[in-house]
């Protein structure tokens, strides 16, 4: 049996993405509450994501969305990590800018502990990618587009995207 480098790399990048989602899931969570949502996007959905990024660039004038969309086009797939930002009932806290979690939930606040959990999950995921030498980059712009088109559901308000590539030169470096 002969397995081509292309097939090896396609299988490997999918396995790495799976392991990144596992690492994100097992990352520590505030109060042990897991509000993490993970998704791996490729094919038509990846194209939809980069199209929304281009739309955001045109509407907002923020050209880094276009630049990042070009990176998504070159990526094999994208790992999305999002958080349902429900107040966790930690007393006393107030990091969200409200007096307490009840006030945060009634207003438009976003739980700071919940967003911190997402950051820890992202760190665990990209560490996993680096252990396998997969080129990756954390992108807010990808997450914003994913929220706009509802890829992770209505409850998920904060998302980061991590495109992956296994090529001779990282498409995320000289942007």
What are the pLDDT digits (tens) for 102-136? Answer: 899 888 889 999 999 999 999 999 999 999 999 99
Name the strand (E) or helix (H) holding 68: helix 64-74
Half-sphere exposure of 119 (CA within 13 A, CB side): 7
Cβ atoms within 10 Å, residue 4: 8
- Report residues of the chain scoring pLDDT below 50: none
Residue 86 has a pLDDT of 85
Domains and CATH numbers, the chain: 5-83+113-164 (3.40.109.10)
Rg, C-alpha atoms of the chain: 17
Residues 174, 67: contact at Cβ < 8 Å?
A: no
Phi and psi at residue 30, to the nearest 5°: -60, 130
Residue 175 has a pLDDT of 61
Residue 10 has a pLDDT of 97
Q: What is the pTM of this model?
A: 0.95
Tokens of 153: 């559901």
- What distance in Å separates the CA atoms of residue 155 and residue 140, rounded to the nearest whole number? 18
């Amino acid at each position: 049996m002969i397995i081509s480098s292309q097939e090896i790399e396609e299988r490997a990048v999918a396995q790495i993405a799976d392991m990144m989602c596992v690492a994100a899931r097992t990352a520590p969570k505030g109060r042990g509450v897991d509000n993490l949502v993970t998704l791996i996007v490729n094919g038509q959905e990846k194209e939809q994501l980069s199209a929304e990024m281009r739309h955001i660039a045109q509407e907002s004038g923020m050209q880094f969305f276009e630049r990042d969309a070009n990176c998504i086009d070159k990526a094999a797939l994208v790992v999305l990590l999002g958080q349902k930002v429900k107040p966790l009932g930690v007393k006393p806290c107030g990091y969200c800018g409200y007096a307490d979690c009840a006030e945060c939930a009634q207003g438009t606040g976003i739980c700071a502990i919940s967003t911190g959990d997402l950051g820890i999950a992202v760190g665990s995921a990209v560490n996993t990618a680096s252990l396998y030498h997969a080129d990756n980059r954390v992108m807010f712009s990808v997450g914003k587009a994913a929220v706009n088109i509802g890829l992770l559901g209505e409850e998920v308000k904060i998302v980061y995207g991590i495109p992956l590539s296994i090529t001779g030169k990282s498409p995320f470096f000289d942007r």
